[in-house]
């Protein structure tokens, strides 16, 4: 029987997303379940096994046809052993024997990678990356993550922390980061970073601006509110967005000066600000990127939204040479 | 007959260096000739062919035993066609059909890469990189160049300009660079960059310092003089070296935050300042590098000197799957 199907799993702190895809990367079925993090996350892997087995039966898909399962996960992965640890939003602090359990429970080969990497590979393969071999991905959420695709493969680096674009220093001695350093991109371009920037700019701002009023009133300000006010012409909010554009443009330019990708894709919640944000990033990118790079690298918004992780997870299953034990 | 020899060629603007190596990377013979750039560099490739053929005969090395020739070259390489253009220090402005000419002239398969990349691969394979798979290389000469080795292979990027560490922006709106941008690493860490920094720092320096005197006298100041004075305790010179250390440390940290290498190797003329420079770079690296990276990445001085290029060129010949046409 020809092996022609892939299973992609995107394991998150609140939901687990599943998809069955053709080996060309078309999603044929998708579903999700809630992540049960009780009992130190002991239910998570059994729940994934049950859900896959149940849906294979439901869709009457012979497992002989499945090339493999790929899964994106938070935490630190040991790629040799197939284990995951330090995934605190899953309540997995101790090392979990994820790959072996999943392989025994499903009878299918399993490949793991981290969630930001899977989203990067998903966008590269089936999203804004147009399946080009050299694509970098930056995701702007609560934090800032990233993934690098070189010659069609994910870059892991020596200890699996390649692509930590969120911790590139964009302002030496700048805002304190949770990682212990100062001036990381994450502190200027994540949802919380944008709000922090807004508060700091507001302090020294003397004119009238709705954003200034809200901050002075102690109203709840989110990154979405900052972008919405900027779009409406609020002067202070635009000053904040200019700064975000500067830092992101600088980080994208230095990434391009280092890796010379054809595309840098920007995704995550903050990227919902769309072209309004991207245009400012582009302006600064043009200023800071080395000319041979500037001519080659296109900045784009992510296209797959929440499905990116499942696509990318399926892609790592396709690239893997693991076989059923 | 077993193929067990490699030929590495390092083509430069003043000399062409050659080496015959075992496939394990031990140099058995080396020699060099002067680069004849007359007549638009038309003699260069014929001279290389003659020199290789002559030495194969001299050493009575059967060409059946040669795996291939690798060559590092200045200029822009078209990897598909095996051509080189825009190598201005060779007088090659138009496209040169280098690979085909060399293959016909020697009867051996030829692989090309750029000179900084070859030096990077040489250091990774047989120098300070200890043959570890993830190693980055920065060379501080008249300019600043670089090369990235990932999983044992050179990173080229989409248009062959990956690893342009010299044009990473370390000071937005800083010193004007020859590339058109402002604040590139090259303007702070190359031989000319160090002197430029010294001149700028001297302007606002009010104390006594030999470096200040020399600059005010209009004496010729080189990067070597700056480092020598700093080693002797000159206050201003140390201020300059601190700045060089800051910019290089920042660039190394951001490289490590992006690629997570096990080693970053610093070579080129300016690196002759040795541990004195490296210690300052290290101090800033520790400050700016993301913790999981900091724990993994070691900064080292280059070890192969002028031979790095020939070693790396031999390595690309070893990695290549080209065969005799």
Q: Tens digits of per-residue pLDDT, A278-297?
A: 999 999 999 999 998 898 99
Distance CA B247, CA B289 (A): 13
pLDDT of residue B323: 83
- What distance in Å separates residue B155's CA from the closest CA in chain A? 8
H-helix or E-strand spanning residue B219: none
Smallest CA-to-CA distance from A117 within A93, A153, A158 is with A153
Q: Are B315 and A184 in contact (CB under 8 A)?
A: no
- What distance in Å separates residue B148's CA from the closest CA in chain A? 9
- Mean pLDDT (chain B) is 96
Confidence of residue B325 (pLDDT cuts 50, 70, 90): low
Work out the percent of chain A whose per-residue pLDDT is above 90.
Answer: 94
Look at A291 and B165 and tell me if their CB atoms are within 8 Å. no
Q: Decide if pLDDT at B35 tops 80.
A: yes
- What distance in Å separates residue B13's CA from the closest CA in chain A? 22
What digits encode the pLDDT tens for the residues A55-76?
A: 999 999 999 999 999 999 999 8
> For chain A, first and last CA: distance in Å?
18
Distance CA B241, CA B197 (A): 9
H-helix or E-strand spanning residue A33: strand A27-34
Q: Are A168 and A145 in contact (CB under 8 A)?
A: no
Tokens of B76: 């822009």
- What distance in Å separates residue B263's CA from the closest CA in chain A? 9
Tokens of B252: 């190394």
Give all domains of chain B, ordered by start, each with its CATH number. Answer: 5-121+307-319 (3.30.420.40), 131-303 (3.30.420.40)
Look at A179 and B290 and tell me if their CB atoms are within 8 Å. yes
What digits encode the pLDDT tens for the residues B268-281?
A: 999 999 999 999 99
Confidence of residue A275 (pLDDT cuts 50, 70, 90): very high
ipTM value for the complex: 0.92
**Mean per-residue pLDDT, B245-249:** 98
Q: Are B141 and B184 in contact (CB under 8 A)?
A: no
Sheet of strand A27-34, all strands in order from the earlier edge strand to the far edge: A27-34, A15-22, A5-11, A66-73, A110-114
- Tokens 């070693």 belong to B311
List, in sequence order, every beta strand (DSSP E) within B76-193: 76-78, 83-85, 110-114, 135-140, 144-150, 153-154
- Interface residues of B toward A, Cβ cutoff 8 Å, are 132-134, 148, 150, 155-165, 167-169, 172, 179-181, 184, 246, 250, 253-255, 257-262, 287-293, 295-297
R_g (Cα) of chain B, nearest Å: 21
Which residue in the set A148, A156, A260 is minimally distant from B161, CB to CB? A260
pLDDT of residue A214: 97
Long-range residue pairs from A101-107, CB within 8 A, at least 24 positions apart, any chain: A101/A45, A101/A46, A101/A49, A102/A45, A102/A48, A102/A49, A102/A69, A102/A71, A103/A324, A103/A325, A104/A325, A105/A45, A105/A46, A105/A49, A105/A53, A106/A49, A106/A52, A106/A53, A106/A63, A106/A69, A107/A63, A107/A324
Residue B162: its chain A contacts at CB < 8 A? Answer: 258-260
Q: Are B281 and B317 in contact (CB under 8 A)?
A: no
Q: Decide if pLDDT at A229 tops 70.
A: yes
Which residue in the set A167, A253, A296 is minimally distant from B159, CB to CB? A296
Residue A134: its chain B contacts at CB < 8 A? Answer: 157-158
Look at B257 and A156 and tell me if their CB atoms are within 8 Å. no
Confidence of residue B321 (pLDDT cuts 50, 70, 90): confident
Q: Are A284 and A278 in contact (CB under 8 A)?
A: no
Distance CA A41, CA A96 (A): 10
Look at B260 and A169 and tell me if their CB atoms are within 8 Å. no
Q: What is the DSSP letter of A151?
A: T
**Mean per-residue pLDDT, B152-179:** 94
- Interface residues of A toward B, Cβ cutoff 8 Å, are 132-134, 148, 150, 155-165, 167-169, 172, 179-181, 184, 246, 250, 253-255, 257-262, 287-293, 295-297
What digits encode the pLDDT tens for the residues B63-94?
A: 999 999 999 999 989 999 999 998 988 999 89
């Amino acid at each position: 029987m020809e092996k022609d199907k892939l299973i992609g799993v995107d394991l998150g702190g609140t939901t687990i997303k599943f998809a069955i895809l053709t080996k060309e990367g078309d999603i044929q079925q998708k579903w999700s379940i809630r992540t049960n993090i009780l009992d130190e996350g002991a239910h998570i892997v059994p729940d994934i096994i049950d859900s896959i087995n149940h849906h294979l039966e439901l869709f009457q898909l012979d497992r002989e046809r499945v090339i493999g399962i790929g899964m994106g996960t938070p935490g630190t992965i040991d790629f040799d052993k197939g284990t995951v640890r330090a995934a605190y939003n899953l309540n997995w602090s101790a090392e979990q024997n994820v790959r072996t359990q999943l392989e025994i429970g499903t009878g299918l080969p399993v490949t793991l990678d981290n969630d930001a990497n899977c989203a990067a590979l998903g966008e590269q393969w089936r999203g804004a990356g147009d399946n080009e071999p050299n694509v970098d991905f930056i995701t702007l959420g609560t934090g800032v993550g990233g993934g690098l695709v070189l010659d069609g493969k994910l870059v892991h680096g020596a200890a699996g922390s390649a692509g930590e674009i969120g911790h590139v220093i964009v302002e030496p001695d700048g805002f304190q980061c949770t990682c212990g350093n100062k001036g990381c991109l994450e502190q200027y371009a994540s949802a919380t970073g944008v709000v922090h920037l807004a508060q700091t700019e507001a302090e020294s701002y003397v004119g009238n601006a709705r954003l200034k009023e809200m901050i002075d009133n102690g109203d709840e300000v989110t990154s979405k509110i900052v972008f919405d006010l900027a779009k409406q012409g609020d002067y202070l909010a635009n000053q904040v967005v200019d700064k975000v554009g500067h830092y992101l443009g600088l980080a994208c330019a230095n990434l391009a000066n280092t890796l010379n990708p054809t595309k840098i894709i920007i995704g995550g919640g903050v990227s919902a600000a769309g072209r309004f944000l991207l245009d400012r990033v582009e302006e600064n990118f043009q200023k800071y990127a080395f000319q041979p790079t500037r001519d080659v690298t296109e900045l784009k918004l992510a296209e797959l939204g929440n499905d990116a992780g499942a696509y990318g997870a399926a892609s790592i299953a396709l690239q893997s040479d693991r076989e059923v034990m």
